[in-house]
Amino acid sequence: MGIFSSRPKRGIGIDLGTANTLVYDKQKGKIVLNEPSVVAVDRKTNKVVAVGHEAKDMLGKTPDSIIAVRPLKEGVIADYNITEAMIEHFIKKLYGKHSFNMPDVMICVPIEVTGVERRAVIEAAKEAGARRAYVIEEARAAALGAGIDISQPEGNMIIDIGGGSTDIAVISLRGTVVRRSRRIAGNNFDDDIIRYVKKEYNLLIGERTAEKVKISIGTAIKIKEEKSMDVKGRDLGTGLPKTITLTSNQIQTAINDTLMLIVEATKQVLEKTPPELASDIIDKGIIMTGGGSLIENFTDLVSEYTHLPVYLADNPLHSVVLGAGIALDKIDILRELDKERR
């Protein structure tokens, strides 16, 4: 049995996202932390000033001596040291600074993460205090968290749209048969909205405002009964604050190119799927997870272009982290992940 015969009960699953970090505690059976993946650092001393919600509140509002940054870009570590500090902060927040029984950690990563990036995540978790660290592909974790039995010889298709990356996979017998990862996702929708407002109204808005617009009135297809929202920003002509009104169909226009990149990647995966597994997908449909999948009518858009039924997972925001927690209890998956990290 080796290392798996003495696995401690304490273990956590971490969805280390570009936008938010979620932590699932296996022992407690629930999500115990959900905070922005943001770290505030003092430029002069390189010391961490704040992490999570407190650091996000500083975005765009810090003095020159402090910088608030997102240490993950497009779903992978962009700044190793700051990511390590963030993981360490979250683990110590949950378990204290002097715990003698630190948890096993399962961290989710994009499907096409490189070996170097995979090792960086594992080392960051170990340096942060993890007893043992594993990484699991986000799509595989999302499928587990969505209630799919991936151990069966059946085709299951998942689209996981996070903040920095989109993972699309056909899974069977615990493995990914066909996969595609695009480093475009929820944050790209925010960028699209910022660019659209700047181009159409000569108005500059921030990331948080764009995110609110996306969540409140965003739609993946044109709709008859539009929603509208007042948006405040800085007029680039006068330099003064200004308020405009945006509508759902304007946001659809703004994000359409990014939506279609995800749709095209989905079609490419389907085109490479073996016939027997494709038959299963016709019967079962496609499952969508992740915060980006919550854009209104997104499932309808994917269904229109794939001619397949498309469903939203019961808990799309938490599917990945719940799946990471489930994986900690599956010895067969742990053995497989242990081989992959060697």
Kindly list the domain boundaries of the chain, sorted by start residue.
2-36+74-141+319-341, 149-184+260-312, 186-254
CB atoms near residue 85 (< 10 Å): 21
CB atoms near residue 133 (< 10 Å): 22
First to last CA, the chain: 17
User: Same CATH topology for 149-184+260-312 and 186-254?
Assistant: no
pLDDT score of 8 more than 70: no
Residue type, position 304, single letter: E
Over residues 279-290, the mean pLDDT reads: 95
Domain 149-184+260-312: give its CATH code.
Answer: 3.30.420.40
Q: What is the pLDDT of residue 218?
A: 97
The per-residue pLDDT for range 174-185, each reduced to its tens digit, is 888 999 989 899
Q: What is the pLDDT of residue 2?
A: 43
Residue with tokens 């989905």: 266
Over residues 32-39, the mean pLDDT reads: 92
Question: For residue 288, what are the β-bridge partners?
Answer: 159, 312
Question: For residue 311, what are the β-bridge partners?
Answer: 287
Q: Locate 240 and state its tokens.
A: 């003064």
Handedness of CA 290, 292, 297, 303 (dihedral sign): negative
User: Is residue 84 within a helix (H) or strand (E), and if so which, with residue range?
Assistant: helix 80-95
Over residues 280-305, the mean pLDDT reads: 96
**Fold classification of 186-254 (topology level):** Actin; Chain A, domain 4 (3.90.640)
DSSP class of residue 155 equals -
Q: What is the pLDDT of residue 76?
A: 75
The per-residue pLDDT for range 155-198, each reduced to its tens digit, is 999 999 988 889 999 999 888 899 998 989 999 999 999 999 99
Distance CA 132, CA 126 (A): 7
**Fold classification of 2-36+74-141+319-341 (topology level):** Nucleotidyltransferase; domain 5 (3.30.420)
Please indicate whether residue 327 or residue 220 has the higher confidence score (pLDDT): 220
- The answer to which of 43-47, 299-303, 313-317 has the lowest mean pLDDT is 43-47
